[in-house]
Chains A and B, each alone.
Chain A
């Protein structure tokens, strides 16, 4: 079935550093792709999404571009803040509309 693979981390960065979290997917067709974020003690929440090839999703300074040629949807942010410390999940929907999640990448940003 369709699946996503993301780098597991953990990732530790200093404030204002550049962030990349890799995500690649395997899918039949061209599904929408999502990034979710989970802050401590909370459920997952949508961070951004892209619905077709070459689309760029963006939110809160984060961006990800849906690249069909490399089957990737890497998450980037130019300058991370301490408040970005969280776990990030790449995801794609299944045929039954269930969301298949990656393993999650824990990001810690130090001041």
Chain B
């Protein structure tokens, strides 16, 4: 069963440190999404790629967050410098890029910034 793989599963870091989260989308999927989940805000879209090109990153704080897809098998989300308010679960999802097609989620990276 094909899965979206995210690493690390958990990350604890100190404020000001750089954090990099990685995602391996399902082979053959051409869309990749980064979401952030918190109790207060629910699921927020941070960034969206189609065929490795960034299409929408309006949900991402540009001053500290960056998202890239160096190749079709890897998507990264970086936070530099990290802040306590960044503590959340970050999910990567991939899809076929069709409206009737569901998104497939990884199990997330739980980030705690102290």
Interface residues of A in 29-78 (CB under 8 A from B): 31-32, 34, 36, 41-46, 49, 51
Number of B residues with CB within 8 Å of any CB on chain A: 24
Q: Is the CB–CB distance between B108 and A96 below 8 Å?
A: no
What is the CA–CA distance of A42 and B107 in the complex, to the nearest angstrom? 5
Q: What residues on B are CB-neighbors of A49 within 8 Å? A: 100, 102
Q: What residues on B are CB-neighbors of A46 within 8 Å? A: 102-104
What is the CA–CA distance of A13 and B102 in the complex, to the nearest angstrom? 28
Q: Is the CB–CB distance between B97 and A43 below 8 Å?
A: no
Q: Is the CB–CB distance between B33 and A34 below 8 Å?
A: no
When C-beta atoms are compared, the residue in chain A nearest to B108 turns out to be: A43
Q: What residues on B are CB-neighbors of A101 within 8 Å? A: 42-43
Q: Is the CB–CB distance between A93 and B4 below 8 Å?
A: no
Q: What residues on B are CB-neighbors of A44 within 8 Å? A: 43, 91, 93, 103, 105
Q: Is the CB–CB distance between A45 and B105 below 8 Å?
A: yes
How many A-B contacts are there with CB distance less than 8 Å? 52
Interface residues of B in 25-49 (CB under 8 A from A): 31, 33, 42-43, 45, 48
Q: What residues on A are CB-neighbors of B106 within 8 Å? A: 43
What is the CA–CA distance of A41 and B97 in the complex, to the nearest angstrom? 26
What is the CA–CA distance of A23 and B91 in the complex, to the nearest angstrom? 23
Q: Is the CB–CB distance between B91 and A32 below 8 Å?
A: no
When C-beta atoms are compared, the residue in chain A nearest to B106 turns out to be: A43
Scan A79-111; emit 1 where CB is below 8 A from any B CB, else 0: 000000000010001001111010110000000
Q: Show 8 residue pairs from A and B whose CB-CB distance is below 8 angstroms, ordered by the A residue.
A: A32-B99, A34-B102, A43-B107, A44-B43, A49-B102, A51-B100, A96-B48, A98-B56
Known: A44-B105, A99-B33. 4 other contacts (CB 8 A): A31-B99, A43-B4, A97-B97, A104-B42
Interface residues of B (CB under 8 A from A): 4, 31, 33, 42-43, 45, 48, 50, 55-56, 91, 93, 95, 97-100, 102-108
